[in-house]
């Protein structure tokens, strides 16, 4: 690890909070290296639901604390092990920060509306749990378990604002329906979440948020007016940025299909919003799983990624960003990131000092307005 970290200028560390439940009745197994059989390690393939594995924050915090200082200063560790639909999430954030002072810089990537993930979450739908007097939110129809209009997000983003954390939020641009085998059943590009995102940032306008992947994903592909919709969110949320991470999303920019924004459209967007765009890899430490054509045992787990494979992923956007003026490309590559996270580290450390005497067993419970 030491040699690899020496080549890294700065990076976020984002634990994966959602655990794919291994249901013993499903008999799901996937082949892996050495002809070994594995339980489910990915959300595509198994029928069983996903749940939040709350111990992961402590696991990563402990590993970070074991690193020498010269490596710690390169890493920004994020809090992820919370359910954003739970009002208690804001308490978890404060407990994590106070339990591991000097470790965390932000939270996320956490998800609200995300392709298959949202529908596989364990728990009830919004319609099942809401009080009779509460109207159904505009984004919570058709059995949704999440909503951008949840009161829990109001408390969560106010907590982000209070502590000075950076939040990385994944929310798709528009609604899609994907089955557990990873097959797109319906896409609704006319049903976007722009107004819902604007609603979220309105509760905590000073909260620093990175909207992941400009709202794109494996099944949520860019429409012709995608960039226009992204601009609407950024214009309404002046403390928000967006990132162009994830190799699947970068392919939409490098090799656009008919009906998608062109390469030049993206470059023009980068120039216009050059102070609010962050580049990143968004890769996990394992190579991509292989999806076969015979579900449900359709996922072959990837192996541990080598440094060479990781650096190949990092170089994917090099030539594309090289088409920008040097000062613009540098902002997107690393300067915007450094500005955002350096400020967060300073703010979070100050909040830790001011609240060091707070009893983590007695964090005040949010009160309904």
Question: What are the 10-residue block averages of pLDDT along the chain, 369 residues in total?
Answer: 63 94 89 76 90 97 97 97 97 98 98 96 96 96 94 96 98 96 94 98 97 97 98 99 94 97 98 97 69 53 72 84 97 97 98 96 81
Do residues 107 and 94 lie in contact, with contact meaning Cβ atoms separated by under 8 Å? no
* Interatomic CA distance for residues 153 and 140, integer angstroms: 14
Report yes or no on 155 lying in a domain.
yes
Task: Indicate if the alpha-carbon torsion angle 185, 195, 197, 49 is positive or negative.
Answer: negative
What pLDDT sits at residue 3? 47
- What secondary structure, in 3-state letters, does the chain show? CHHHHHCCCCEEECCCCEEECCCCCCCCCEECHHHCEECCCCCCCCCCCEEECCCHHHHHHHHHHHCCHHHHCCEEEEECCCCCCCCCHHHHHHHHHHHCCCCEEEEEEEECCCHHHHHHECCCCHHHHCCCCCCCCCCCCCCCCCCCCCHHHHHHHHHHHHHCCEEEEECCCEEEEECCCCCEEEEEEEEECHHHHHHHHHHCCCCEEEEHHHHCCCCCCCCCCHHHHHHHHHHHCCCEEEECCCHHHHHHHHCCCCCCCCHHHHHHHHHHCCCCEECCCCCCCECCCEECCCCCCCEECCCECCHHHHHHHHHHHHHHHCCCCHHHHHHHHHHHHHHHHHHHHHHHHHHHHHCCCCCHHHCCCCCCC
The candidate with the shortest Cα–Cα distance to 174, out of 217, 204, 203, is 217
For residue 317, CA distances in Å to 179, 185, 217, 257 come to: 31, 31, 17, 18
What is the CB-side half-sphere exposure of residue 307 using CA atoms within 13 A? Answer: 8
List all residues 6 or more positions away from 179 whose beta carbon is below 8 Å from its beta carbon. Answer: 116, 185
Report yes or no on 122 lying in a domain.
yes
Report yes or no on 68 lying in a domain.
no
The candidate with the shortest Cα–Cα distance to 252, out of 242, 243, 262, is 262
User: What residues make up the domain containing 183?
Assistant: 27-51+107-359
CA angle 349, 351, 353 (to 5 degrees): 70
The candidate with the shortest Cα–Cα distance to 92, out of 363, 369, 368, 367, is 363
Task: Indicate if the alpha-carbon torsion angle 162, 343, 312, 32 is positive or negative.
Answer: negative
Report yes or no on 86 lying in a domain.
no
Report yes or no on 271 lying in a domain.
yes
Q: Find tokens 């690890």 and name the residue.
A: 1
Report yes or no on 141 lying in a domain.
yes
Report yes or no on 101 lying in a domain.
no
The tally of domains found in the chain comes to: 1
The model's pTM is 0.93
Report yes or no on 75 lying in a domain.
no
What pLDDT sits at residue 142? 82
Do residues 282 and 251 lie in contact, with contact meaning Cβ atoms separated by under 8 Å? no
The candidate with the shortest Cα–Cα distance to 90, out of 369, 365, 368, is 365
């Amino acid at each position: 690890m030491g040699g690899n970290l020496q080549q890294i200028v700065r990076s976020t560390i984002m634990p994966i909070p959602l655990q794919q439940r291994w249901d013993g009745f499903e008999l799901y197994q996937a082949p892996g290296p050495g002809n070994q059989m594995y339980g489910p390690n990915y959300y595509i393939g198994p029928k069983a639901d996903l749940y939040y594995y709350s111990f992961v924050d402590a696991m990563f915090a402990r590993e970070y604390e074991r690193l020498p200082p010269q490596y710690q200063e390169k890493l920004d560790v994020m809090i992820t092990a919370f359910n954003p639909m739970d009002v208690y999430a804001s308490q978890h954030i404060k407990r994590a920060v106070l339990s591991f002072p000097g470790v965390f810089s932000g939270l996320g990537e956490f998800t609200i509306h995300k392709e298959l993930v949202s529908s596989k979450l364990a728990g009830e739908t919004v319609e099942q749990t809401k009080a009779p007097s509460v109207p159904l939110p505009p984004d919570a129809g058709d059995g949704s378990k999440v909503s951008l209009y949840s009161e829990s997000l109001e408390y969560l983003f106010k907590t982000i604002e209070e502590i000075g954390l950076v939040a990385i939020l994944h929310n798709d641009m528009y609604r899609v329906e994907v089955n557990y085998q990873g097959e797109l059943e319906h896409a609704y590009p006319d049903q976007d979440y722009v107004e819902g995102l604007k609603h979220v940032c309105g509760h905590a306008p000073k909260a620093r948020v990175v909207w992941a992947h400009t709202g794109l994903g494996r099944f949520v592909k860019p429409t012709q007016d995608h960039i226009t919709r992204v601009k609407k969110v950024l214009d309404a949320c002046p403390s928000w940025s967006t990132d162009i991470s994830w190799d699947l999303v970068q392919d939409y920019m490098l090799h656009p299909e008919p009906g998608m924004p062109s390469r030049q459209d993206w470059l023009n967007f980068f120039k216009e919003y050059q102070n609010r765009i962050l580049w990143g890899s968004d890769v996990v430490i394992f190579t991509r799983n292989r999806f076969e054509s015979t579900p449900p045992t359709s996922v072959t787990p990837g192996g541990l990624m080598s440094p060479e494979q990781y650096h190949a992923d990092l170089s994917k956007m090099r030539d594309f960003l090289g088409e920008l003026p040097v000062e613009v490309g540098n902002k997107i590559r690393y300067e915007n990131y450094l500005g955002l996270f350096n400020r967060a580290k300073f703010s979070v450390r100050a909040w830790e000092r001011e609240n060091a005497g707070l009893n983590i067993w007695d964090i005040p419970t949010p009160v309904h307005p």
